[in-house]
Amino acid sequence: MNPELAALKPYPFEKLATLKAGVTPPAALPHIALSIGEPRHAPPDAVLEALRRHESDVARYPATAGLPELRQAMAAWATRRFGLSADSLDPERHILPVNGTREAIFAFVQAALDRTRPARVAMPNPFYQIYEGATLLAGGQPEYLDCRADRGFRPDLDAVPADVWRDTQIVFVCSPGNPTGAVTPLEEFTRLIELADEFDFIVASDECYSELYLDEDTPPPGLLQACAALGRHDYRRCIVFHSLSKRSNLPGLRSGFVAGDAELIVPFKRYRTYHGCAMPLQVQHASIVAWNDERHVLANRDAYREKFAAVTDILAPVMDFPVPSASFYLWPAVPGGDDEAFARDLFAEQHVTVLPGRYMSRDSATAGRRSNPGSGRVRLALVAELEATVEAAKRIRRFIESRE
């Protein structure tokens, strides 16, 4: 077996299961999970109908590049959403369908990392663990960029030493961020592009939460948008990942796309052809419908706004957290500062599951001491329907107030 498998860390939900083992919650209270970022809103009817209409396509092999109509729908959506110039995002050269961002991020690192030279992969800390796992299995070295409250939960790019940048091959951005909800501003994307040009690395932007934002007039910017602002219409050294999972409440469809630099897309397509991970045809047809429709996305954002408003009203008096401008997460500090104890005892007393922040981050050196930027916080995923989410918030508040 690949010896790098031994370097993989336990997944956050493995740690969570261990933490909860042997704990018996009150049976009278129905369980509410705020731990997993799995959307629970209803998927669009038109997408489900397209799946049924094309179910017989399971009898055909799909192509790695996907249907031309699918690539066109993806390119048209990204062009509208990020204000790109007409025809600058070529469906033939700059777009590749993938089976969700998780699979694509993992595969991209395997394809892109050059193991014959120093191979650092920089990532936000806390982070989506696939960045780390993909790096380790590709023979690379994770470089954790702390995202702390005093910087709005975004990394300090200018604090990274030049010798680290010189050994870096990929820099991951997650915007809006998981678990913090932090949004990368356009000028920060621009700074990353400048650094990429100076030190010759790839900027890989995970934007799967980009369509979940609270202010309808202020959508989060994206990496392609920064490229357009710079007149960088070849998207050199830049790659983005988008998905229908959060945007359209379709996590089980496993449908998304990568877009950007054609010199990265071409070899990545070759890798995927050998990997054998082409998107099934019935999923492609359903995805075309989803990318071409914004009405269900608007309704989705409205539902999240309602939940954020209700939950923040309930929890703000007893927990310290920034209200994020995007994503469906809250990232509050826990009273007492012990995120593991908070999560375990909350489950034991209120039958609500949350994810300890330290499970999504790694220890790092700050101001001469080792610390973990996720420690003392928990991730709350506001994915359930309104009634269940509000009930969970009320239970969390009761739990905290009972200990004061």
* pTM (whole model) above 0.85: yes
Q: What is the pLDDT of residue 164?
A: 97
Tally the C-alpha atoms within 13 A of residue 338's C-alpha that lie toward its C-beta: 7
Which residues in the chain land under pLDDT 70? 365-369
Query: At 404, is the secondary structure helix, strand, or coil?
Result: coil
Give the separation between CA 10 and CA 318, rounded to whole angstroms. 31
The type of residue at 74 is M
CB 169 within 8 A of CB 138: no
Q: Tell me, what's the pLDDT at 371?
A: 87
Domain 3-42+296-402 matches domain 61-292 at the CATH topology level = no
In whole angstroms, give the CA distance from residue 386 to residue 393.
11
Cα separation, 333 vs 375, in Å, equals 9
DSSP state of 373: T
**Per-residue pLDDT, 374:** 97
For residue 148, which amino acid is it? R
Report the C-alpha gap between 135 and 144 in whole angstroms.
12
Nearest-10 crossing angle of helices 100-112, 129-137: 30
For residue 63, give the H/E element and its range: none
Q: What is the rounded distance in angstroms from the CA atom of residue 62 to the CA atom of residue 307?
A: 39
CA–CA gap between residue 81 and residue 96 (Å, rounded): 18
Q: What share of the chain is helix, strand, coil (3-state, %, to 5)?
A: 45, 15, 40
Contact 251, 108 (CB under 8 A): no
Instruction: Report phi then psi at 156, rounded to 5.
Output: -90, 95
Structure tokens at 207: 């934007």
pLDDT at 133: 98
Q: Is 11 helix (H, G, I), strand (E, B) or coil?
A: coil
> Is CATH 3.90.1150.10 the right assignment for the domain spanning 61-292?
no
Domain 3-42+296-402, CATH homologous superfamily name and number: Aspartate Aminotransferase, domain 1 (3.90.1150.10)
Task: State yes or no: cis peptide before 155, omega within 30 of 0.
Answer: no
Quick one: CA dihedral 270, 276, 277, 282, positive or negative?
positive
Question: What does residue 151 show for φ and ψ, rounded to 5 degrees?
Answer: -120, 25
Q: Are strands 32-33 and 352-353 parallel, antiparallel or unpaired?
A: parallel
Beta partners for residue 122, in sequence order: 143, 171
Q: Where are the domains of the chain?
A: 3-42+296-402, 61-292
H or E element, residue 328: none
Q: How many residues does the chain have?
A: 404
